[in-house]
A and B are shown apart, each in its own frame.
Chain A
Amino acid sequence: MTFKQLRRALRLRRETNSRSGRLPTPYCFVILLIVASTTVPVQGQLFGLGGGETIEHARILTGDGRVIEKGGISIRGDRIGDVGADVKAGILGKSFDATGKTVTPGFIDVYSGLGIISGGGAANALSKAADGWDAYAADVFQDALRNGVTTVYVAPRGPVGVLGTSAIFSLGRPESGRAGSAIKEDVALHVNLGSGQSALARINTFNNLRRQLREALEYRKSLEDYKADLEEYEKKIKERAEKKAKEEAEKAKSGGEKKEADPKPPDKKDEKPAEPKPDAPKPEGPRPGPRPGPPRPSPGGADGATGASEDTAGEAPSDDPADLFRSLMSGDEAMFADAPPAPGAAGDAKKEEEIKKPAEPKPDRGKEVLLKALDRKLPVRIEAHRSEDILNALELAQEFNLDLILEGATEAYLVADEIAKAKAPVVLGPAQRPELRADNEFRRHVATSAARLSKVGVRWAVGSGGGVQESRFVLANAQLTAGALEESGASPLELVTTRAARLLGLEGAGRVARGARADLVIWSGDPHDPSSVVERVYAGGKVVYEVKADK
């Protein structure tokens, strides 16, 4: 019955729209008003339209701290249609009964090594995490999904220095082989200051980095210089051409009506309409009248039309002054082919001063990536663990005006004030670092680092640290970190959802809200309780994990 009503309503609307005029106008108007007054989501809710599923009766942790004790979430395509206590599947819609279960946004790892193919050798600014990512590692992804992780930020791997650009991936289940896909590439430029190295090696790494940035700036300067020189050059060429044209015109004026009487060339195929000058030495095509230059051995002339044309064209560059000029000008023939006075001017070019075309700098794509970072179009994530390396990173960011994010930052708590002053966010490494005994760059790791950063107003997030397996436990990692916060500055869930999304610039992800990306996890209980099990995961609106299908 409802379906009929709907169809009727739709038909009516169509009819009103097409102004068929079968219904009396006031009636039409009333129907139009009713249909229009219900917003699209309400219509979808009423009838269960929109194609997606609706999760009902769930306890919803929205990710930004709000809790809906009993509510629904409707999915429209890859987005969340609506969220709220009164969201229902509707009569025609598909529903998932989540009574007694908890729904959270899919977790986001802000620094992960999940799926990255290990064993990378040298790296540079052109290296891309997206190129080294194994989109087919379905088993690894399923294990991450089993722990509620749907999105990973993957950094390029490498030794020290500039490592390349990162990417953000969405995890899924295999579809024609691939189980994961990139949702954002070239997110940030990664640099490792090599805190694990000896002091001298670290200084060397840092100076190299600084030199690379300077060279990138010099490269830009050379590009700009080239552009200016080129303009200047083109201007000169143009001026000369104009001058020639003027001279020609004057000559033509004094030379009488000869030009007008000249017959058109018989073969227009290769002709440029802009070159109708009779005295121009044209290599292409036979031409009546005397030709300038030395006599050719060609059988040309008026009879052997096509054969002559090919022949002369082949020999032309050797003795034709126009072509000589052309070859002098190092390429860019297209430009000169269009330059109208070129053939005419060529005859006099030798007499005049030579106009040198500026040499174009060799294109360097690596430097162009660095330039993007220098223009703040690409954030720079610098991994530094020792306090002096962190200070170096801050100094570099100031010198080159970089959009800096500190990575790892084991000793951040020792230089928290400096970090606060530089307004650089920090991505802390795993909370599970050796604390009792370590003699490397992590030896001064303390659990309370995040608390110190919070106190001085530094924005921070926590990542899993780039290991292949660790991404599964982003929430456990956040729980450990949050546990160390005295005044509980952040809930663990918020850290791996809303805050993580904000740090990565993933607007519309990491929260359960209307219009957000439909990355949702249905838990048997509260996700902070290790006994809770993930029962179902949606990524981009699609079901990508189901506990029933797992083993």
Chain B
Amino acid sequence: MRLDDRRMRRQGRRMLRTSRGGSRIVAACLTAGVSCIAAHGADRVTIAAGGVVLPDGSIGGASTVVVEGGRFREISAAASAPAADGVVNHSGAVLCPGLIDARSALGVASLGRHVERSVAIAPELSLREAIDVRHRDFASALRTGVTAALIVPAGNNVVGGAAQAVRIGAGGEAEWLREDGPLVMTLGQSVLEFDREPTSRIGAVTLLESALSQGKRGEGPARMRAAARGQLDVLMMCEAAEDLAAAARLLGGAPIKARLAYTPTDVEAESAWMSSFEGPVVLDTMTFATTPRVLRTAGLLAAGGKEVVFAGALPYAPADSLRISAALAVRYGLDASAARRAITINPAKVAGVAERVGSIEKGKDADFVVFSGDPLRLESRVLEVYVKGVKVYDAALQTE
């Protein structure tokens, strides 16, 4: 008895000790990689790489990429890079556009509730008011090659307000990539509450319908008017097939510009509704636990001519969730190029920032990742991350 008592106390002490020590080590791990980044003053950087992920998602051969003024200046297929000063040589590596999470909660996850529960139609809300731009989750995401994200409000409102597209810059600090929007709407179980409207699926659809028709008539909040007239893009999040059917009816067709976030369960039956939405469909994060049926949907959609996007769901999802989703979908029939597009240029389109980021093209912002190999091969590591032409992460400098 006394022995056990003593043991317990000893254990308690040890527990305290290790947890304190442990958190210190973890904190060091988290900060080291990002904080020791030298803000390169150099305006012009030339990088020679073994391969480059091209805008169509395929991997081009050995190339030289010139970055100037924070943008891609020149991309040339050069078998060997000129061995000159200021040339960064990554002969075995693959240059990939910075990965983009199109359905993220980075920077808002730790702040508690960030959706307004009392009202269902809240287009006037802007999620940016709730984002902690210096949250350490941004730095963590950056280390896995994520340079931009569309931070969306949780789906508890039928109209949840404006999402915020951000870029993760030096020091893991977020900056706005876009002034306003897209406007996020949701249909599904999660918008229903017992103490405010809507309390049923029918109620939710009716509320959305009346808000939209109000907007079309030029009434109601500004964002709703803009969305109804096609001046502001919409991200529609649907949970089940019946939500998808209703959303397709309400938002399908001009002038509304709506994109869809949805996990198809029966692609053949649902693809007709999905075609009412323009652009790529945002699919849920794929994990090792995702059933084969869902894993196959990306390939089936792509075969039907629909582009796809994998939500990263950071920070709730595991690190590397974007690459894991893409790699697993490829195992289940998605074309490799389409899979690379699904985590780079396509999410940029969903976030409405594709003219600036999402691909390695002349004139675009030089946000890119140096992977040790094909980003779809999961053993490939992030070697370096550049944002606006500046190296913001270097794995070699990361201490244990």
Residues of chain A touching chain B, judged by Cβ–Cβ distance below 8 Å, are 143, 147, 199, 203, 206-207, 386-388, 391-392, 411, 414-415, 430, 432-437, 444, 446-448, 451-452, 464, 467-470, 472-473, 476-477, 479-480, 482-484, 492, 528-531
CA distance A207 to B287 in the complex (A): 36
Distance of B24 from chain A, by nearest CB (Å): 10
Interface residues of B in 286-300 (CB under 8 A from A): 287-292
Given contacts A436-B141, A447-B319, contact A469 B288 (CB under 8 A): yes
Stretch at the interface among B201-209, B244-252, B320-328: B320-328
Is B265 at the interface (CB under 8 A from chain A)?
Answer: no
Is B119 at the interface (CB under 8 A from chain A)?
Answer: no
Candidates A387, A392, A482; contact of B379 at CB < 8 Å: A482
Distance of B65 from chain A, by nearest CB (Å): 23
With CB as the reference atom, state the residue of chain A lying closest to B312.
Answer: A436
Q: Is the CB of B290 within 8 A of A446?
A: no
Distance of B75 from chain A, by nearest CB (Å): 24
Given contacts A411-B22, A437-B137, A483-B381, contact A432 B14 (CB under 8 A): no
Q: How big is the B interface, by class?
A: 35 or more
CA distance A198 to B300 in the complex (A): 45
Is B77 at the interface (CB under 8 A from chain A)?
Answer: no
Q: Is the CB of B379 within 8 A of A480?
A: yes
CA distance A266 to B108 in the complex (A): 102
Candidates B11, B14, B18, B377; contact of A530 at CB < 8 Å: B377
Is B376 at the interface (CB under 8 A from chain A)?
Answer: yes
In the complex, chain A residues whose CB is within 8 Å of the CB of B327: 476, 530
Given contacts A469-B288, A483-B380, A492-B379, contact A476 B324 (CB under 8 A): yes
With CB as the reference atom, state the residue of chain B lying closest to A415.
Answer: B18
Candidates A143, A207, A434; contact of B318 at CB < 8 Å: A434
Further pairs besides A199-B15, A414-B21, A448-B29: 13, Cβ < 8 Å: A386-B15, A386-B19, A436-B137, A436-B314, A467-B288, A467-B289, A470-B288, A470-B289, A476-B328, A479-B379, A480-B320, A480-B378, A529-B374
10 A-B interface contacts by CB (under 8 A) = A143-B292, A203-B12, A388-B15, A414-B25, A432-B320, A434-B318, A436-B318, A437-B315, A476-B288, A479-B378
Q: Is the CB of B317 within 8 A of A530?
A: no
Interface residues of B in 372-400 (CB under 8 A from A): 372, 374, 376-381, 400
Given contacts A391-B14, A482-B379, A528-B379, contact A473 B140 (CB under 8 A): no
In the complex, chain B residues whose CB is within 8 Å of the CB of A452: 400
Q: Is the CB of B14 within 8 A of A388?
A: yes
Given contacts A388-B11, A479-B378, A484-B381, contact A435 B289 (CB under 8 A): no
Distance of A183 from chain B, by nearest CB (Å): 24
Residue of B21, B29, B288, B377 contacting most chain A CB atoms (<10 Å)? B288
With CB as the reference atom, state the residue of chain B lying closest to A443.
Answer: B26
Q: Is the CB of A473 within 8 A of B328?
A: yes
In the complex, chain B residues whose CB is within 8 Å of the CB of A147: 331
With CB as the reference atom, state the residue of chain B lying closest to A452.
Answer: B400
Is B330 at the interface (CB under 8 A from chain A)?
Answer: yes
Interface residues of B in 92-130 (CB under 8 A from A): 109-110
Q: 9 closest pairs, A vs B, by CB? A: A436-B315, A479-B378, A530-B330, A479-B379, A437-B315, A435-B319, A483-B379, A470-B288, A387-B18
In the complex, chain B residues whose CB is within 8 Å of the CB of A437: 109-110, 137, 315-316
In the complex, chain B residues whose CB is within 8 Å of the CB of A436: 137, 140-141, 314-319
CA distance A199 to B8 in the complex (A): 10
CA distance A492 to B380 in the complex (A): 11
Q: Is the CB of A476 within 8 A of B29?
A: no
In the complex, chain B residues whose CB is within 8 Å of the CB of A444: 22-23, 26
Q: Is the CB of B324 within 8 A of A432?
A: yes
Distance of A479 from chain B, by nearest CB (Å): 4
Given contacts A199-B12, A484-B381, contact A477 B288 (CB under 8 A): yes
Q: Is the CB of B288 within 8 A of A430?
A: yes
Q: Is the CB of B18 within 8 A of A414?
A: yes
With CB as the reference atom, state the residue of chain B lying closest to A446.
Answer: B29
Is B4 at the interface (CB under 8 A from chain A)?
Answer: yes
Distance of A11 from chain B, by nearest CB (Å): 54
In the complex, chain A residues whose CB is within 8 Å of the CB of B317: 434, 436
In the complex, chain B residues whose CB is within 8 Å of the CB of A470: 288-289
Interface residues of B in 1-22 (CB under 8 A from A): 4, 7-8, 11-12, 14-15, 18-19, 21-22
Q: Is the CB of A528 within 8 A of B288?
A: no
CA distance A308 to B129 in the complex (A): 106
Distance of A204 from chain B, by nearest CB (Å): 9
CA distance A143 to B293 in the complex (A): 11
Q: Is the CB of A464 within 8 A of B319?
A: no
In the complex, chain B residues whose CB is within 8 Å of the CB of A531: 330, 336, 376
CA distance A530 to B286 in the complex (A): 14
CA distance A147 to B379 in the complex (A): 17
Q: Is the CB of B14 within 8 A of A528?
A: no
In the complex, chain B residues whose CB is within 8 Å of the CB of A469: 288-291
With CB as the reference atom, state the residue of chain B lying closest to A529.
Answer: B377
Candidates A387, A473, A483, A528; contact of B22 at CB < 8 Å: A387
CA distance A415 to B374 in the complex (A): 34
In the complex, chain A residues whose CB is within 8 Å of the CB of B331: 147, 476, 530
Q: Is the CB of A476 within 8 A of B11?
A: no
In the complex, chain A residues whose CB is within 8 Å of the CB of B320: 432, 480
With CB as the reference atom, state the residue of chain A lying closest to B30.
Answer: A446
CA distance A203 to B328 in the complex (A): 40
CA distance A157 to B381 in the complex (A): 34
Q: Is the CB of A434 within 8 A of B316?
A: yes
Given contacts A143-B292, A477-B288, contact A433 B378 (CB under 8 A): no
CA distance A530 to B343 in the complex (A): 15
Given contacts A207-B4, A444-B22, contact A528 B289 (CB under 8 A): no
In the complex, chain B residues whose CB is within 8 Å of the CB of A480: 320, 324, 378-379
Distance of A145 from chain B, by nearest CB (Å): 12
CA distance A540 to B379 in the complex (A): 30
In the complex, chain A residues whose CB is within 8 Å of the CB of B14: 388, 391
In the complex, chain A residues whose CB is within 8 Å of the CB of B318: 432-436
With CB as the reference atom, state the residue of chain B lying closest to A482.
Answer: B379
CA distance A530 to B140 in the complex (A): 25
Distance of A118 from chain B, by nearest CB (Å): 13
Distance of B29 from chain A, by nearest CB (Å): 6
In the complex, chain A residues whose CB is within 8 Å of the CB of B8: 203, 207
CA distance A467 to B287 in the complex (A): 12
With CB as the reference atom, state the residue of chain A lying closest to B21.
Answer: A414
CA distance A206 to B12 in the complex (A): 13
In the complex, chain B residues whose CB is within 8 Å of the CB of A433: 318
In the complex, chain A residues whose CB is within 8 Å of the CB of B23: 444
In the complex, chain B residues whose CB is within 8 Å of the CB of A492: 379
Given contacts A430-B288, A469-B289, contact A392 B137 (CB under 8 A): no
Given contacts A434-B318, A435-B318, A473-B288, contact A483 B378 (CB under 8 A): yes
Interface residues of B in 219-237 (CB under 8 A from A): none
Interface residues of B in 305-348 (CB under 8 A from A): 314-321, 324, 327-328, 330-331, 336, 339
